[in-house]
A = this chain, B = another copy of it.
Amino acid sequence: MLEEIENILKEWGPQIEKEIENSIPKKGVPGINDVVWYHIGTGGKRLRPVLAIMTGKALGCDVEKILPFAAACEVLHNWLLVHDDIQDGDEVRRGQPAVWKKYGLDHGINVGDFMSEKVYELILKSLERGVDEKTTIKLLDEIVKTSLRTAEGQAMEFELRKNNKPTEEEYIRMVVHKTAHYLTAPMVGAVVVANATQETIDKIREFGMKIGPAFQISDDLLDLTTGKGREDIGSDIREGKRSMMVVHCANNCSPEEKNQLFDILNKPRNETTKEDVLSVKNLFEKTGSMSYSQEQANKYMQESKDVISDMPDELRQLLENFAEYIVNRQR
């Protein structure tokens, strides 16, 4: 899958970039255009636009028609990160100062807002590529719903961080809201542009609701293994996130260990030491929470594959590869 993603990026990456740049020129209002491109320039996998393009191609759709929506998905992903970093107090993004840290809180919020509106401007550009009004409205509606669920998921996560008795059910509900919808939107959008049947759209959405938790649980694990490119592992622990491991561990350790766990999670992030992170990681290993989480990620991946088992070969193969990539990626 990595190779396929890279091939798509090689072929269409510059077009995605150009699509974004046409909408947000690199020069413009100081404190806006420069800031957007500072953030976009920090990198990222461009997973979402690639996913939209791949899905469209698998359905035989003209990629040019999908490009505005694909670019919109990348802008959506990026503005969510800009606001997310403020909300989580993350000072570093992709090895560089987060937008709010570099340009100030006021610009950080404002640039995220600006980008969130550009998402809609980009989708409206589909009309210039021969996507009809009805379909464009469907795309807009998809992004509205996705963004609303994502915001609800964010709120659920903030609330969950204050919760010392998090259940797996609460965790999954939060993850489906926060992660699944906006990982699914690029695929659904491509299917909509390709004019596929409602059944296909529903199936893709069902697939996404499984692949979302698989993605997030893998992400939870990566935070303690590769550290996702950050200098230190355990950023989630410093932030007090209720990860899949936290939920499992809290329900499988002694009362003393549980107190210790939440004492560390609930500390202000700048007071959390490396030793704290390691002691939590050791506890996760003792309670088998890391391997349990890996099993759960695999379980959701398997379920996602079951959903699409009777889809046309090319699309099914793509989605299967994607599902495996999600769970096996290293960053």
Instruction: Write the residues of chain A forming the contact surface with B, with a CB cutoff of 8 angstroms.
Output: 28-32, 83, 86-88, 104-107, 109-114, 116-118, 120-121, 124, 127, 133-134, 136-137, 140-141, 144-145, 147-148, 151-152, 154-156, 158-159
Report the separation of the CA atoms of residues A144 and B104 in the bound assembly, to the nearest whole angstrom: 25
Looking at A28, A31, A105, A156, the one whose CB has the most chain B CB atoms below 10 A away is A31
Partner of A158, one of B106, B116, B148, B156: B106
A86 touches B105 (CB 8 A): yes
DSSP majority for the A interface?
Answer: helix
Could you say which residues of chain B place their CB within 8 Å of the CB of A29? 152, 155-156
With A32-B155, A134-B133, A155-B32 given, is the CB distance from A148 to B117 under 8 Å? yes
Q: Closest CB-CB distance, A286 to chain B, in whole Å?
A: 31
Instruction: Give this chain's copy count.
Output: 2
Q: Give Cα A87 to B112, complex, Å.
A: 12
CB neighbours of A141 from chain B (8 A): 124
How far is it, in angstroms, between the C-alpha of A134 and the C-alpha of B132 when the chains are bound?
Answer: 10
Once bound together, how far apart are the Cα atoms of A4 and B134, in whole Å?
38
With A147-B117, A159-B30 as known contacts, state yes or no: A109 contacts B124, CB within 8 Å: no
Q: How far is the CB of A26 from chain B (nearest CB, A)?
A: 15
CB distance from A270 to the nearest CB of B (A): 16
